[in-house]
Amino acid sequence: MKPRHGMKHDAQEIYARWLEAGSKLAFAFALATLLLYLAGALPPLVPLAELPRLWTLSAAEMMREAHAPGGWSWLHYLRYGDYLNVLGISLFALLALICTARVVPAFWRSGERMQALLALLQVLVLLAAALHLFPGAH
Amino acid sequence: MPTMPFAEAAAAWWVWPLALFCLTFFLGIVAVIAGVGGGVLFVPIVASFFPFHLDYVRGAGLVLALTGTLAASPALLRSGLANLRLVLPLALVGSVCSLAGAVIGFALPVAVVQTALGVIIVAVAVLITLARGADGIAGVDPARFDWRSRRGVLGIASFGGIGFVGGLFGLGAGWANVPALNLLMGLPLKVAVGTSGLAISLINSSAAWVYIGRGALLPAVAMPSILGVMLGSRIGARLLHSMSSEAVRRIVIAVLALAGARALLRGVGIWP
């Protein structure tokens, strides 16, 4: 692949701009939710004192013992400090999906059809991952 | 003044996250100076010497590598050291394979994953030791150097393998991406490093959803690690010019070899 020195990287610049704004927001949100969690401002679903016993168990065992939600069910538990913190961490995983989706029309408009198609396929893979639409998701 | 007995203090929930923060702060410093990703140090060390189940360590390692690369990517993209157009085909294959690696990691017995992790980490230590020759073009300014990537099919295939390993073990995989981009695909070293970071941010995002859905992202493990590495890397960047990177690199190789051997021996039940 030939580099595009001297050209204005529109899609690349858009990706950088959205990623920069998104990662700052995600870091701020994750830090705020961590402080709420640690300060006990929101009660955790899994009591903090129980953690040293539970984190020695596998994720599947811990979810059974703590009656913790799997898949996207944890969205119903955002009133708990630990799951609000999971939302903060999830925003990091969401950023690539949002930024890649944003550059699909930018590539298409600039006539880079192959790049638009690759970006679209990347969005579909990330979307399938986020929605757990793949074998062995649960 | 009443004192808390050590055993009681060790049982307190906050002791291990605090220890994790201190360790990752140190790892952040060392990783920048030695030029390796924090994730590749984090997973074997924490899996070997902390009480957390491997599921949470892999989940935290993956998110740790993801957040580090997300923060660095905008500047790398603007400077031209990361190339989005080049990353897209590599990340597409890497994302699918990373997803598969994460799913398979949860299906395998933990001893098998631990043993394989030990083998991989020892191999990484050997790879970092042997990769010294690649520094030869480090001083080239990629904006003035007319480079063109080559061996695209091989490069895409290698990113498939690297993505699988990254998803399976929760590693950032910069240790493999950079040699693949630099030595195999012919990118200048600085562009290889920048492009590797951007690729990791896309590839790890797909596997992260597996860990989130499986309940393997424990905030008490992931968040102190993310903050520790972030703060440590800022200090590391300031110390970069005042410390001998070769000496730190040797320490990193020794630590990787030790942590890899420990993970291997733990996996086969010799040193539980």
pLDDT, tens digit, 9 for 90 and up, residues B141-164: 555 555 677 777 888 999 999 999
DSSP B150-162: --HHHHHHHHHHH
**Which candidate from A12, A23, A134 shows the least CB-CB separation from B99?**
A134
- Report whether pLDDT(B48) > 80: yes
- What would the mean pLDDT of A98-105 be, rounded to a whole number? 96
Token pair listed for B16: 């291990």
Q: For the ranges A17-21, A52-56, A79-83, B143-147, which has the lowest average pLDDT?
A: B143-147
Dihedral Cα A66, A63, A65, B222, nearest 10 deg: -60
Total count of domains within chain A: 1
pLDDT band (50, 70, 90) for residue B234:
confident
Instruction: Give the span between the Cα atoms of B67 and B153, in whole angstroms.
Output: 28
Q: What is the mean pLDDT of chain B?
A: 84
**What does the angle CA B164 – CA B166 – CA B171 come to, to the nearest 5 degrees?**
170
pTM of the model: 0.87
Give domain limits for chain B.
Answer: 25-267
- Please indicate if any CB of chain A lies within 8 Å of the CB of B233: no
Tokens 């995600």 correspond to: A26
pLDDT band (50, 70, 90) for residue B29:
confident
B209 vs A contacts (CB less than 8 Å)? 93, 126, 129-130, 132
- Please indicate if any CB of chain A lies within 8 Å of the CB of B223: yes
Residues of chain A with pLDDT > 70: what percent?
A: 91
Burial of B139 (0-12, 13-18, 19+ CB in 10 A): exposed
Residues of chain B with pLDDT > 70: what percent?
A: 88
Other beta carbons less than 10 A from residue A121's beta carbon: 17
pLDDT band (50, 70, 90) for residue A135:
low
Note whether residue A73 is domain-resident. Answer: yes
pLDDT, tens digit, 9 for 90 and up, residues B192-223: 888 888 999 999 999 999 999 999 999 999 99
Instruction: Give the span between the Cα atoms of A68 and A63, in whole angstroms.
Output: 5
Other beta carbons less than 10 A from residue B33's beta carbon: 25
A58 vs B contacts (CB less than 8 Å)? 53, 55, 110
Note whether residue A81 is domain-resident. Answer: yes
Residues 66-85 of A with CB under 8 A from B: 68-72, 82, 85
Q: In the prediction, which pLDDT does A101 show?
A: 97
Q: In the prediction, which pLDDT does B57 show?
A: 95
pLDDT, tens digit, 9 for 90 and up, residues B112-139: 999 999 999 999 888 888 865 444 444 4
Q: In the prediction, which pLDDT does B136 show?
A: 41
Q: Count Cβ neighbours within 10 Å for each residue of B212-248 and write b for 16 or more, e otherwise.
A: bbbbbbbbbbbbbbbbbbbebbeebeeeeeeeeeeeb
- Report whether pLDDT(B65) > 70: yes
- What would the mean pLDDT of B37-47 be, rounded to a whole number? 86
Domain interval for residue A84: 19-130
- What would the mean pLDDT of B223-232 be, rounded to a whole number? 89
Q: In the prediction, which pLDDT does B142 show?
A: 53
- Please indicate if any CB of chain A lies within 8 Å of the CB of B114: no
Residues 85-124 of A with CB under 8 A from B: 85-86, 89-90, 92-97, 100, 103, 112, 115, 118-119, 121-122
Q: In the prediction, which pLDDT does B138 show?
A: 45
Contact A129 B214 (CB under 8 A): no
Contact A57 B83 (CB under 8 A): no
